[in-house]
Structure 1
Amino acid sequence: MMEHFDVIIVGAGLSGVGAGVHLQKRCPGKTYAILEGREAIGGTWDLFRYPGIRSDSDMYTLGYNFKPWTNAKAIADGPSILDYVRETAREHGVDRHIRFRHKVKRASWDTQAARWTVEAERGDTGETVRLSCNFLFMCSGYYNYEHGYLPEWEGYESYKGRIAHPQFWPEDLDYKGKRVIVIGSGATAMTIVPEMAKDAAHVTMLQRSPTYVVSRPSQDAIANGLRKMLPGALAYGITRWKNVLLQNYFYGLTRKQPEKAKQRLIGMVRRALGPDYDVETHFTPRYNPWDQRLCLIPDDDLYDAIKTGKASVVTDHIERFTQTGITLKSGRTLEADIIVPATGLDLIVLGGVELVVDGARVDMANTLTYKGMMYENVPNLASAFGYTNASWTLKADLTCEYVCRLINYMDAHGYAQATPRNADPAMARAPWLDFSSGYVQRAMAKFPKQGARLPWALHQNYFKDIKLLRRGRVDDPEMAFSRRPPAQTRAPARVEEAA
């Protein structure tokens, strides 16, 4: 007989581990399994191992709401974050529920049985494993773990030096005394450049266009001070809310007074790099703040690398790769021993899992998102997806809370199925994310859409989501609840037949 769980969580990264803890706390007694395609806990923080890997959000908001971050550094390095996630899994026994090397490929919903059948490919044997569940929670992130985005450059194959992609950093790469080009201007590039500059002969950050950069101290003095005076959980809570309020205030400023915010950000760069640096060319974007994600750097590390001459920024377009480097459209040539294409992620929907509802394949691109976490006409399924303008885990925690509320509500009323139903098919639709970043624009056609009003509109606002997800109604008019059809009371036998 097919193995059955109340809940199956897909992914054992930051979101998946958090989902396991929330489920244990809020829905005690529920059986669950976490299916993880790789061999380790940690997701992003285990996959990416490039030099300097760190958070681009403060850990007081990237950390879980139930587990205080106690490290002195608020902008933490990757290994410390990985330890935090794994420690959480151990402390709460979540690690005992994880099935590694189980890459979920397909999930099929059967209304008659009111269950999902989940098909996973085992990485060690290649066999397909089938399990069933009442509720499916996708915590598999938003990008392709198997490859990143790589543009098609003329002459790319002719380059004779070493190419190191950040998503698959070679363990044997020795860059001491080498000339390095890092292509890109996002968070990954701005993390790698100052770290590699410590040992490389020189590191050039080659960008097509500038990005807004904000430097913050790596340590939060207020947080560290509070921790000395107050119990850890209280100090963490105060710091968390302080940072949430500051983030929300600044984001609101960028939306209401974009030019003022822009000048403030550019002024900070000018003060850091001095009056003689060409900030206009290299650090003044053409778009408004938060039309794309801001890049956070700790303790002026990128600026310091530039001022010491160990790193430089070149703003130009690539004409072609050569055997020894890159020729730019301006005619300039950059020589390099190592090239790092920090050119972004390849975004995919729900980890690339194929969804089928009652025999019909779900086209996610033509589906509306419900409260930013469930999907039109897809029963008993939710996904964790963080904020673009704040820390990922703020939204993930709220999503977990809502999923648990929904499961408990269904149990209390004898419901077997909860399906978002849109009562207004003529409602205007918009892209899932209103973000101009290249990696987002390349993928938005594949993603679900959002509607013009609640509960189909997608917030990027923690306070509104607290009202919607933590305090709002579970039984709103556009969530359809139903009980299992009477003929299917012997569900396990029916599930095996359907398999």
Structure 2
Amino acid sequence: MHDTDFDVLIVGAGLSGIGAAVHLKKNCPNERFAILEGREAIGGTWDLFRYPGIRSDSDMYTLGYNFKPWTSAKAIADGPSIRSYVRETADEHDLNRHIHYGHKVAAAKWDSTAARWTITTTTKNGSATFTCRFLFMCSGYYNYTEAYRPTWDGEADFKGTIIHPQFWPENLDHAGKRVVVIGSGATAVTIVPVMAETAAHVTMLQRSPTWMASGASSDWIANVLKAILPAQMAYKLVRWKNVSFGMWFYKQTRVNPGRVRETMLKRLAKQLPANYDIKTHFTPSYNPWDQRLCLVPDGDLFKSISDGKTDIVTDHIEKFEAGGIRLKSGKLLEADLIVTATGLKLQAMGGMTITVDGKAHIPGESLAYKGMMFSGVPNLAQSFGYINASWTLRSDLIAGYVCRLLNHMRATGVDSVTPTPAADVVPARLMMDLQSGYVQRGSDVMPKSGNRAPWVVTANYTYDRKELQDGPVTDEVVFAKAQAAPAALLAAAE
């Protein structure tokens, strides 16, 4: 059983999982670990999504790991470049030998007597079982096998092709075709200008507008600093520059949303054709960062509109017809190809079932502890990045905190740690503090943020950095020792 029993099991070999493994190797050299990956490749999101133009919507100086400088000239990177960055990291730290591919975690059972998790995975050859002291979930927050996909009347009558970006067909040829992309989020904003380069025409069909902001795909300050400073020093300076600006801008959207709205709309007007109907197509009813803001690198979407390759229609769908989409207004959008960029389906803990001493645990009923552990669940942490900033900023902090916690437990001779809220701690809001549709649809599966620290999930990197790097690992948790040797559990699992 030596090859299936570990100190730490990491679930997921994407950006977060590979980063977590590097932190473990550096800071917890005595912890034996393995990575369980449900797919057959490293990369997570950046290997799954293959739609045209797939890219980051955060700069790579903050989306990249704190220990590995981003060296490319482009700050807004395409999907293949990010995938290569993750794979390169795994190679540099000899992580491939720790990865069990094709192991999708289905269930996790905690036994307090042995202070051990028993993990069941599904594989193409059946099920497999692993055990560990600590479970580190790095599987993201959405369902890889099922996207959010509404259905509409008349879909069967449509004579063309309907696809969802999460399941993009290999070698799909859209050249010369009339394309309608349903949606106005980051995926639609990415796909539309790229498809428009060769399509006959692309229409972005939205029910309501999304806040969009143009930004340069290359950071000239970063490129200058990289040319004159050591790589790690330049990377650190640019990282702090971008973090500081991001926090400042987010704060402005909270304290002075009217001024931010006005400024953003003025900038949009300069990038769109004269007399363009910005009020209808680019002025949301909500304030910036009430939902996630869409980045438009180098203004490519706006240029595509100005060049006449793309148009935006703001309306509701009545039904699909043989030749396209009939709108509530009566207009027919003719199409050969329809892309349903309608969003993700949230999923907690990779979709696995969790039981603690025989009792089922429902993630949506728990409180998030420091944005990474959950009330009543021992020896489990989840890598959960920022929604209003680069994901990796917080996932790096969480990985560092987990290492500090593991080292404390080993030094003090305890076997389990359970976040335990006091009586005055109550749910205050969703863990993901956004009004976005995908968040609201999945609100029942996600843990809740509490009303005070350390149960509040923040959007403040400076606060989290101080708390997770330097704060105590002993506040509002219960430590305990196992009541039986791990061998008892291992024998029971055989």
Which residue matches 1:495? 490
Q: Helix, strand or coil for the counterpart of 2:235?
A: helix
Deviation of 1:426 after TM superposition, in Å, equals 6.3
Deviation of 1:455 after TM superposition, in Å, equals 1.0
Which residue matches 2:102? 101
**Pairing 1:209–2:212 present:** no
Deviation track 1:470-493 (CA, whole Å, cap 9, x = no partner) reads: 1110011x11111122xx1x3223
Q: Distance in 1 between matches of 2:379 and 2:207?
A: 43
Deviation of 1:447 after TM superposition, in Å, equals 1.3
Q: Helix, strand or coil for the counterpart of 2:386?
A: coil
Which residue matches 1:304? 303
Which letter maps to 2:203?
T
Which letter maps to 1:175?
H
Q: Distance in 2 between matches of 1:91 and 1:433?
A: 33
Deviation of 1:425 after TM superposition, in Å, equals 6.0
Q: Distance in 2 between matches of 1:73 and 1:284?
A: 29
C-alpha contact 2:116 2:489 (8 A) present in aligned 1:
no
Which residue matches 1:354? 353
1:37-436 matched pairs, under 5 angstroms: 37-122=38-123, 124-125=124-125, 127-424=126-423, 427-436=426-435
Q: Distance in 1 between matches of 2:139 and 2:249?
A: 30
Q: Distance in 2 between matches of 1:494 and 1:260?
A: 60
Q: Distance in 2 between matches of 1:494 and 1:65?
A: 38
Q: Distance in 2 between matches of 1:70 and 1:121?
A: 38
Which letter maps to 1:162?
T
Q: Distance in 2 between matches of 1:337 and 1:494?
A: 58
Deviation track 1:143-174 (CA, whole Å, cap 9, x = no partner) reads: 11002111121112221101121001111311
Deviation of 1:498 after TM superposition, in Å, equals 5.2
Deviation of 1:96 after TM superposition, in Å, equals 1.4
Which residue matches 1:471? 470
Which letter maps to 1:265?
M
C-alpha contact 2:427 2:448 (8 A) present in aligned 1:
no
Q: Distance in 2 between matches of 1:158 and 1:386?
A: 42
Which residue matches 2:14? 13
Deviation track 1:178-203 (CA, whole Å, cap 9, x = no partner) reads: 00000000000000000000000000
Q: Distance in 1 between matches of 2:141 and 2:431?
A: 12
Q: Distance in 2 between matches of 1:39 and 1:138?
A: 18
Q: How many residues align?
A: 493
**Pairing 1:28–2:11 present:** no
Which letter maps to 2:127?
T
Deviation of 1:388 after TM superposition, in Å, equals 1.0
Q: Distance in 2 between matches of 1:427 and 1:449?
A: 9
Deviation track 1:432-490 (CA, whole Å, cap 9, x = no partner) reads: 222111111100122111110011111011111012111110011x11111122xx1x3
Which residue matches 2:482? 484
Q: Distance in 2 between matches of 1:239 and 1:174?
A: 39
Q: Distance in 2 between matches of 1:279 and 1:136?
A: 49
Which letter maps to 1:63?
G
- Which runs of 5 or more residues in structure 1 are unaligned? none
Q: Helix, strand or coil for the counterpart of 2:269?
A: helix
C-alpha contact 2:346 2:445 (8 A) present in aligned 1:
no
Which deviates further from its counterpart, 167-176 or 397-406? 167-176
C-alpha contact 2:425 2:451 (8 A) present in aligned 1:
no
Q: Distance in 1 between matches of 2:298 and 2:47?
A: 25
Which letter maps to 1:433?
M
Which letter maps to 1:482?
A
Deviation track 1:374-410 (CA, whole Å, cap 9, x = no partner) reads: 0001000000111110000001000000000000000
Q: Distance in 1 between matches of 2:424 and 2:490?
A: 33
Q: Helix, strand or coil for the counterpart of 2:444?
A: helix
Which deviates further from its counterpart, 59-68 or 167-176? 167-176
Deviation of 1:133 after TM superposition, in Å, equals 0.3
Q: Distance in 2 between matches of 1:270 and 1:386?
A: 33
The CA RMSD over aligned residues, in Å, is 1.1
Which letter maps to 2:481?
R
C-alpha contact 1:365 1:445 (8 A) present in aligned 2:
yes
Which residue matches 1:437? 436
Q: Helix, strand or coil for the counterpart of 1:61?
A: helix
Q: Helix, strand or coil for the counterpart of 2:113?
A: coil
Q: Distance in 2 between matches of 1:482 and 1:313?
A: 59
Q: Helix, strand or coil for the counterpart of 1:475?
A: coil
Which letter maps to 2:46?
W
C-alpha contact 2:179 2:337 (8 A) present in aligned 1:
yes
Change (3 A) 1:428 1:150: closer
* Identity value in percent: 57
Deviation of 1:274 after TM superposition, in Å, equals 3.7
Q: Distance in 2 between matches of 1:258 and 1:180?
A: 35
Deviation of 1:428 after TM superposition, in Å, equals 4.4
TM superposition score normalised by structure 1: 0.97
C-alpha contact 2:110 2:117 (8 A) present in aligned 1:
yes
Which letter maps to 1:41?
I
Q: Distance in 2 between matches of 1:205 and 1:331?
A: 17
Q: Distance in 1 between matches of 2:228 and 2:434?
A: 41
Q: Helix, strand or coil for the counterpart of 1:319?
A: strand
Which deviates further from its counterpart, 150-159 or 251-260? 150-159
Q: Helix, strand or coil for the counterpart of 1:356?
A: strand
Q: Helix, strand or coil for the counterpart of 1:314?
A: strand
Which deviates further from its counterpart, 157-166 or 68-77? 157-166
Q: Distance in 2 between matches of 1:425 and 1:253?
A: 31
C-alpha contact 1:113 1:495 (8 A) present in aligned 2:
no
Which letter maps to 2:92?
E
Which deviates further from its counterpart, 65-74 or 159-168? 159-168
Q: Helix, strand or coil for the counterpart of 2:29?
A: coil
Q: Distance in 1 between matches of 2:156 and 2:140?
A: 31
Q: Distance in 2 between matches of 1:472 and 1:269?
A: 42
Deviation track 1:286-335 (CA, whole Å, cap 9, x = no partner) reads: 00010000000111100110000011100011111111110001111100
Q: Distance in 1 between matches of 2:465 and 2:52?
A: 36
Q: Distance in 2 between matches of 1:449 and 1:260?
A: 31
